[in-house]
Amino acid sequence: MSTLPAPGPNVSGADEPKDARPLWQRYRAASHFRSRDEEFDAAKLGMWLFLTTEILLFAGVFVAYAYFRMLHPEAFANGSHYLDVRWGLLNTIVLLISSYTVAASIRCAQLNKQKMLKINLLITLVCGFLFLAIKFVFEYMPKWSEGKRPGSLFNYAYAENNFEHLWWSVYYTATGIHALHVIVGMGVLFVMYLKARKGFFGPKHYMGVEIAGLYWHLVDVIWIFLFPLLYLIH
């Protein structure tokens, strides 16, 4: 993503005298921006636009959910009974914590608390990992092996409704695309962590963490919608 700061030649040009200041102080905006602030604004605007597109992408999934719920209400009611609210709740909590830590990491960058910045990023990463682990090990795997699969793969012997496979189609599509976003988000955050270790972020330059944080919040918000739709509404 170009929304990440451009390290490029302007970070430490070989032709310039050696500069002993930390990286975040030496950062200069890309040459077509008039200032660092302008670049930061542009990056934020870009990210917000990107988040809009993400929300619209999920909007498609939500529409499909609503539509099929309307067509086959019993199948969907049955379907959500198969989900264990406790795992869903746990995952919600995990993601909420991670949202807090990612916000904290931005604050740390602004306050130049380099150590806490890294720790917070790490906790966020761990939370992301936990989320995925719970999802896969305690949700996807048992369901899949019981035959609760999408579409024509559906093979659950005790189904009570002819259209339960559609519920699972929607379930796997929604949570699968969301899980993919979690993975991408973790990738971005990991890059931020590596940069943080090099001292890339500080009070005047925390664009990268802020942008990555925005993305992570989105991943969270989507889950906040998915959780009640899938687990709570019967």
Where does this chain bind another protein (CB under 8 A)?
1-3, 6, 10, 28-38, 41-43, 45-46, 49-50, 52-54, 56-61, 63-64, 67-68, 71-72, 75, 150-153, 162-163, 165-166, 169-170, 172-173, 177
Alpha-carbon span 143 to 109, nearest angstrom: 42
Q: Which is nearer to another protein, 71 or 133 (CB)?
A: 71
Q: Which is nearer to another protein, 75 or 121 (CB)?
A: 75
- Quote the tokens at residue 211: 């942008």
Determine the residue type at 207.
Answer: M
> Minimum CB separation from another protein for residue 34, in Å?
6
> Minimum CB separation from another protein for residue 188, in Å?
14
Least Cα distance to 139 among 66, 90, 74, 105 occurs for 90
> Minimum CB separation from another protein for residue 5, in Å?
11
> Minimum CB separation from another protein for residue 67, in Å?
6
139 near 87, Cβ under 8 Å?
Answer: yes
Q: Which is nearer to another protein, 67 or 136 (CB)?
A: 67
Q: Which is nearer to another protein, 2 or 115 (CB)?
A: 2
Q: Which residues contact 109 (CB under 8 A, 6 or more apart)?
A: 117, 196, 201, 202, 203, 206, 209, 210
Alpha-carbon span 58 to 52, nearest angstrom: 10
